[in-house]
Amino acid sequence: MSRAPSVRALAAEALADIALSGHSLRDVADRALPRLPDPRDRALLTALLNDGARWWPRFDAALDLLLDKPIRRSEPAIHALLVSGLVQLDILELPGYAAVAATVEAARELRRPRLAGLVNAVLRRWQREREALSATLDATPATRHAHPSWLADAIARDWPDQVDDVLAAANTEPPLMLRANRRRTTRDTLAERLRDAGQDVTLHPWLADGLVLPHSTDVTRLPGFAEGLFAVQDGAAQVPADLLDLADGQRVLDACAAPGGKACHALERANVNLLAVEFEAKRAPRIRQNLERLGLNAEVVVGDAADPSAWWDGRPFDRVMIDAPCSATGVIRRRPDVRLHRRAADIDALVAQQERILAACWKTLAPGGRLLYVTCSLLRRENEGVVNAFLAGTPDASPIPFTLPVGRPAKVGWQVLPGDGDLDGMYYALLERSRTSAA
């Protein structure tokens, strides 16, 4: 029987894949976790990967202060091992001697015994000089809050009065939010069942279907999951079902649907005829799986939302929802690897794609119908910038004003920033097509 790899050696290789090779945290974790038979080891690996990705920009910069010569390119696994060692000492606050000793041994397991002494020296130096080194890192918002400089600068430009709170919120543990499936249960009944199972659950104060658990857990083990009584969905993503003002018999388009949470919520709210369009073929099965587990029905097609001719039958939709592809800068607390993979140069291409999708899907909307444009971005260019440009060139489109209990109005629409009401960051703009418009 082959010996299971140590957690720290496996974490170093996986973290190097995430931070230095551009692989997604979810994909890397899905491959790495099954290699560890012990649940305690899997829990530590999960923490090292999540906090390693979350705090990489800070500790990657710290290593430039601690090393005479960078090794991130020549020895990526050892560089990642050092980051994970600093995470153990500074974020997870594991016992120092044991954490250092185990991390040094991991260097040998990674077949880099000649670098074991370097690993030991760097981690010991951090322990000795932590206060001074931390002060240097804290002097710059990007390294203080572990964000790439371009993103910290962009948030400071767009949200100067909230920048520190926004950056800090991205490093906090989000609560686990559930959405009761009102087709199969009530929120109160589900909450009672969860409490009977020992869960600390509260009803969300203003989201009609929302329940909140303070910490993440294996949701597949919660009572009611297999029966489709609930779905996991952050509260910010539960807002669209309210804004759409759904009614039985409406034709509804979810133009960028995967993984299907907002589509399922719409179907739970009303007997609508829903078409879910997803560009990536590999993500479409996830929509179908969620529909099946929750006992819902919709037509799911693979297609480009910016090219309706390939999937639209010409009959107009009463409601259109566009959860547009975006920078995902509002959900970094749940997807910490976004800060490692997103680049400033990506924004131009995303804005162009958002503009194409919005213009194309508008043509499928019935006169008098509503279109909801949503992103999980904090950047004004992707949000009100896109919508304002669309409104300026579309005479039959007008914004519908609304307010939410948290967040703030944008020039058009509404922006929730990370941490507002303990929600993810999300932008919403609700538009109506003139009733005199030609369909």
Q: Could you give the residue numbers annotated as active site?
A: 376
CA-wise closest residue to 305 among 324, 290, 318: 324
Burial class (CB in 10 A: 0-12, 13-18, 19+), 169: buried
CA distances in angstroms from 63 to 56, 69, 92, 369, 438, listed in the order given? 10, 9, 18, 55, 61
Residue type, 109: E
CA-wise closest residue to 243 among 204, 194, 207, 292: 207
CB 319 within 8 A of CB 331: no
DSSP label at residue 173? P
Please list, in sequence order, all residues whose beta carbon lies within 8 angstroms of the beta carbon of residue 179, skipping any fewer than 6 positions away. Answer: 209, 210, 211, 230, 231, 232, 233, 238, 261, 265, 268
Cis amide leading into 37 (omega within 30): no
Torsion of CA 101, 103, 109, 112, to 10 degrees: -100
Angle at the Cα of 428 from the Cα atoms of 426 and 434, rounded to 5 degrees: 170
Structure tokens at 155: 């948030």
CB 331 within 8 A of CB 424: yes
Handedness of CA 304, 309, 315, 318 (dihedral sign): positive
Burial class (CB in 10 A: 0-12, 13-18, 19+), 283: middle
SS (H, E, C) 203-232: ECCCCCCEEEECCCCCHHHCCCCCCCCEEE
CA Rg, the chain, in Å?
Answer: 23
Q: Which residues pair with 430 in a beta bridge?
A: 372
Residue type, 228: G
CB 236 within 8 A of CB 262: no
CB 341 within 8 A of CB 27: no
CB 410 within 8 A of CB 385: no
